[in-house]
Structure 1
Amino acid sequence: MSRRLHHQMTYEAPLAAVVEMLADARFREQVCEYQHVLRADVEIDRSGDTMSVLVEQVQPTERIPSFAKKFVGEEIEIVQREDWSAPDRAQLHVTIPGKPGHMEGTITLVETGGTTVETVDVEIKVSLPLVGGKIEGLVSDLLRKALVAEEKVGARYLSA
């Protein structure tokens, strides 16, 4: 079993500006700060039109339900890797080291009339008997909230 999440973020900026934002480690750090992560490390390697982004973060688990908290403990480490094969598309991989689950999907950017839409389409899989589906739903909700936070920080970043 797995769960699919499809989420769009709209930026009032051209594609090139959004690409530059996504390639800025400081922007990624601001998104982590906005979400009150405990610790974060961002690495971006850019070469021409390709880019590799690695965001490792540790978040508190105080706001997740107890049934899930017993699987992850007091903190949860999340490793997000984006492999951009072109300025407008990437493969997205998210793992929780040592835990039975992962997310795989794509990120696409499309500009229309000076506005850019970033679409994240991801499949969430948690391999735990009985509670896997519940945890997939929880992860989907958490990811959606993280993407909403990213959009808010991005709008502020692009307007500066």
Structure 2
Amino acid sequence: MGRDMKYDERLDYDKPVETVLRMYTDRSYFERKYRDSGAWDVEVLEHEQNGKRFRIKCRFSMKSDAPLPDFAKKFIGESVSVVQQDAWDLEKLTGRIDTEIKGAPVKVFTEMQLKPSGQGCANHLVWNVSCGIPLIGGKLEKVLAEDLQAKSRTDYQVSLKILRDY
């Protein structure tokens, strides 16, 4: 088994926690973010919000930007179909993203913690990527982690633009 690959990321925002959380829990933010990040066939599958919790599950397709080695191309084509669920505990300011890449034998989840920072706030993310395929699993995890990091940077830049509207 490949050992799980973890990496941390910090997203800084120049608005307070309440404003960023309002964006992170707005259905239209997700639809706009995915479209503006180059995704297509964006569809909200589930969406719920009560006083303490928020959850949204979306399906979309996007181009795979990873420079895939030949062995990985059979799992991940030119484009990927993704189902992603974002969930937030609004009182603890913690969240989790579960990402399923159709046809890819990997599990991806991300834990989030939103905290005040300087004049604004920061979202601290811990990514977990694992692949259950012996021998090539570790290589596939590394390739996917690099692709996810690139997509996350794009996602962040798009989110910074969208945040101006909140």
Q: Give yes or no for TM over 0.5.
A: yes
Between 26-35 and 9-18, report the one with greater CA deviation.
Answer: 26-35
The percent identity for this pair of structures is 21
Q: How many residues align?
A: 160
- Per the normalisation by structure 2, the TM-score is 0.85
Partner of 2:12: 10
Deviant stretches of 4+, over 4 Å: none
> What secondary structure does 1:72 align onto?
coil
The secondary structure found in structure 2 opposite 1:130 is coil
Deviates more, 1:10-19 or 1:20-29: 20-29
Shift of 1:16: 0.7
RMSD (CA atoms): 2.0
Task: Structure 1: give runs of 5+ residues left out of the alignment.
Answer: none
Question: Who is 2:58 aligned against?
Answer: 55
Q: For structure 2, list consecutive stretches of 5 or more residues without a partner in the other structure.
A: none
Residue of 27, 30, 33 corresponding to 1:28: 30
SS in 1 for 2:75: helix
Cα contact 2:75–2:105 (8 A) shared by 1: no
Tell me what 1:121 maps to: 126
> 1:125 aligns to what SS in structure 2?
strand
Please say if residues 66 and 146 of structure 2, whose CA atoms lie closer than 8 Å, have aligned partners that are also in contact. no
Distance 1:62 1:104, change over 3 A: closer
Q: 1:71 aligns with which of 71, 75, 80?
A: 75
